[in-house]
């Protein structure tokens, strides 16, 4: 179980609280927000801070301006929608450091909210002083000078060791915001201290992008179902003809090693037992269901078959926790979305029945579950792509590690 410092653990009344949020939201050409999910995710923490008399200073990146000021990447466009959500005027600082920013902070009163300009307008956010990947401690110090307490509320960037995501914690006591708490609590519930048996479902195109994830999961799960294009590599490694399917034949030895390691730790691997094949990669293409040894040389495996879906349902029935990452087939193309939709709906049904904890995230997972109409019934869905995958790989996240370090003294 992740043991971290929580926002509720500190008295924020009258304190300047520097909050890392993720406001890297999609916008149209006119600068209007087209998906406000990330803005809404920050509201509980902001409202908590305001309600407890804090001075709230928000910082975020937006886009990839590469250390240069770009008008299209300004956070100014978010002031109006954020103010509307909070039913309170949000102030804006045209920079995130410097004398003018310090003056703007000094003018704030208890319960005020200030949004700083894009942190990535400065190279020190993502680069060291000599241009290497990382961050400039001097820039991080300029950010931390604005606050007395640091609250990290953006799990989506917790895997990045940057000035605003972890560098400021060198000088400020760090706490998890409410959105971060929710992520960490649910993720711990899924893999660190799960209700067993625990099952994983991992799909996607390539084994090469998920080797570390698979190697970590076999040591934590009771069952691991592998689907999508990556399953083809495992099937080929076991001697099955996968025809013209996407397959990383050079990774067949890696697949066999993963299968052997899983066997050694008693993690049952579930692979497709029947498949849906077609000769064309397009929606509505002529297709058929066949056994693993009936795939023609000019056919592509584009989805798992009905027998596989039934087997997955049986495995879900036998599990109390499910961790889902990736689709089972080419879900963007009808009818090759069938296995993903049916398995997702079945998992959601078990959650509604109170018989399963289902946590999902990473890559195309959110889109696939929304497409299936199952997203709202999952126990928890993380929208953090890279951070979610790195967590599943068992790797430390810099933005989480700073929350676990020994508490340093608050500034006077």
Collapsed DSSP state (helix, strand, coil) of residue 305: coil
**Collapsing DSSP states into helix, strand and coil, what is residue 59?**
strand
Q: Is 390 exposed, middle or buried (0-12, 13-18, 19+ CB in 10 A)?
A: buried
- Report DSSP state, residue 33: B
CA distance 45 to 226: 37
To the query of whether residue 361 is one of the catalytic residues in this protein, the response is no
* Residue from 228, 362, 363, 399 carrying the catalytic annotation: 363
Q: Look up residue 300 and give its two tokens.
A: 């592509």
394 is catalytic: no
DSSP 195: P
The SS3 of residue 292 is coil
Check 5, 15, 20, 38 and give the catalytic one. Answer: 38
Q: 241 with 294: CB under 8 angstroms?
A: no
Determine the angle formed by the axes of helices 306-317 and 338-352, rounding to 10 degrees: 20
Separation of CA 224 from chain center: 20
Q: Is 38 a catalytic residue?
A: yes
Distance CA 120, CA 249 (A): 40
The residue annotated as part of the active site, out of 53, 134, 385, 386, is 386
89: which DSSP letter? P
Give the active site residue among 141, 206, 279, 345.
206
Active site includes 284? no
Q: In what order do the strands lie in the sheet with 357-361?
A: 268-270, 223-226, 198-202, 321-325, 357-361, 380-382
Q: Say if strands 198-202 and 16-20 run parallel, antiparallel, or are unpaired.
A: unpaired
* Residue from 279, 280, 262, 261 nearest 270 by CA: 262
| Tokens 């698979």, located at residue | 214
CA distance 308 to 120: 46
User: Tokens in use for 224?
Assistant: 């691991």
State the Cα–Cα distance between residues 306 and 241, nearest whole angstrom.
20
How far is the C-alpha of 54 from the C-alpha of 275, rounded, in Å? 57
Residues identified as active-site: 38, 206, 363, 386
């Amino acid at each position: 179980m992740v043991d971290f410092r929580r926002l509720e653990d500190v008295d924020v009344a009258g304190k300047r609280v520097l909050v890392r949020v993720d406001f890297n939201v999609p916008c149209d050409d006119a600068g209007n927000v087209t998906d406000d999910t990330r803005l809404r995710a920050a509201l509980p923490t902001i409202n908590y801070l305001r309600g407890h008399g804090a001075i709230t200073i928000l910082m975020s990146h937006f886009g990839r301006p590469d250390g240069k000021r770009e008008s299209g990447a300004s956070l100014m466009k978010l002031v109006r929608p954020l103010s509307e959500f909070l039913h309170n005027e949000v102030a804006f600082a045209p920079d995130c450091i410097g004398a003018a920013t310090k003056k703007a902070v000094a003018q704030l009163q208890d319960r005020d909210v200030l949004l700083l300009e894009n942190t990535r307008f400065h190279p020190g956010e993502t680069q060291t002083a000599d241009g290497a990947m990382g961050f400039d401690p001097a820039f991080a110090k300029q950010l931390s000078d604005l606050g007395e307490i640091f609250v990290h509320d953006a799990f989506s960037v917790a895997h990045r060791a940057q000035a605003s995501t972890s560098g400021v914690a060198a000088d400020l006591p760090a706490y998890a915001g409410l959105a971060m708490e929710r992520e960490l609590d649910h993720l711990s519930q899924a893999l660190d201290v799960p209700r067993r048996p625990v099952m994983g479902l991992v799909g996607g195109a390539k084994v090469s992008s998920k080797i570390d994830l698979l190697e970590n999961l076999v040591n934590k799960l009771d069952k691991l179902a592998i689907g999508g294009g990556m399953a083809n590599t495992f099937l080929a490694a076991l001697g099955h003809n996968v025809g013209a399917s996407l397959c990383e034949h050079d990774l067949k030895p890696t697949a066999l090693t993963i299968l052997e390691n899983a066997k050694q730790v008693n993690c049952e691997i579930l692979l497709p037992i029947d498949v849906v094949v077609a000769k064309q990669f397009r929606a509505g293409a002529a297709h058929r269901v066949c056994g693993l040894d009936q795939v023609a040389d000019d056919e592509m495996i584009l989805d798992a078959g009905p027998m596989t879906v039934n087997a997955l349902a049986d495995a879900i029935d036998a599990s109390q926790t499910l961790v889902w990452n990736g689709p089972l087939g080419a879900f963007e193309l009808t009818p090759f979305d069938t296995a993903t939709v049916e398995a997702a709906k079945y998992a959601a049904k078990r959650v509604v029945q109170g018989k399963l904890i289902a946590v999902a995230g990473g890559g195309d997972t959110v889109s696939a579950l929304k497409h299936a109409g199952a997203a709202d019934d999952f126990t928890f869905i993380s929208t953090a792509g890279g951070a979610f995958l790195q967590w599943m790989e068992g790797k430390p996240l810099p933005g989480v590690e700073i929350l676990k370090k020994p508490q340093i003294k608050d500034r006077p």
